[in-house]
Amino acid sequence: MFEFLTNRRTVRNYSDKKIDAALIEKILEAAAQSSNTGNMQTYSVVVTTNDEIKKQLVPAHFNQPMVTQAPVVLTFCADFNRFSQWCKQRNAKPGYANFQSFMAAAIDAIIFAQTVAVAAETAGLGICYLGTTTYNAQEIIEALQLPELVVPVTTITLGYPEVIPPITDRLPLQSVVHYERYTDFTPEKIGAIYAEKEQLEFYKNFVAENKKETLAQVFTDVRYTRKNNEFFSEKFLKALQQQGFMK
């Protein structure tokens, strides 16, 4: 398992081979054993295999081709709708129309999603997380007809790999692990942590193609700009408000 996890890859190109429905069910059933807040399981997943519905989801994911190419698209949602309905039907007054409840449900949904990802990969499938889900949550809400107290938080495309991609680089472990207390970074430590990444030919080309001086500038000025972050933050907060989590 350690070797498997260390050598995992993100798969963006899928073959035409269909995924058996029984395998999807088996993966989801195993993942449902994931840890969650209070054993309430305040999450849902929408399994999309219909080509027309996938086409409706594509614009929300900035037209990434894997959305339509993948045989299965899994949209994971923070979901207090089901639990709240159960409470009301059992003479209990739910108090989950708030941001804290959304955060708890979102964490549970993402834990569930990651367990699905690992289970799928161990079964020979390839996965790719789509970070665009919260950028355009409202469009996904409309496409999947999500009711109040249900908000999409992440998406995974799922399929058999067409090709086996190379392993994605990662920062050294000491950049993300702190023992006992958080140890802040000196300029020297920052330099050491990012040195290998900055020297990779892929990222050097990335800097040149974007006409920037440093790799950091590609992230701040091109890929994840302050303007875009603020725009999508406001948009997501509006979706949370509409779905009843900000009352």
Please provide the DSSP assignment of 166-213 as one string: PPPP---GGGT--SSS--PPPHHHHHHHHHHHHHSHHHHHHHHHTT-S
pLDDT at 247 over 90: no
The share of the chain scoring above pLDDT 90, in percent, equals: 98
**pLDDT tens figures, 160-200:** 999 999 999 999 999 999 999 999 999 999 999 999 999 99
Give how far Cα 71 sits from Cα of 1, 16, 104, 125, 168, Å: 26, 8, 30, 11, 23
Please report, for residues 43, 64, 67, 203, the alpha-carbon distance to residue 157 in angstroms, rounded to integers and kept in the order given.
18, 11, 6, 25
What are the residue ranges spanned by the domains of the chain? 2-166
Q: Which CATH number fits domain 2-166: 3.40.50.1440, 3.40.109.10, 3.40.250.10, 3.50.50.60?
A: 3.40.109.10
Beta strands 126-130 and 72-79, pairing class: unpaired
Percent of the chain with pLDDT over 70: 100
At 118-156, the pLDDT tens digits run: 999 999 999 999 999 999 999 999 999 999 999 999 999
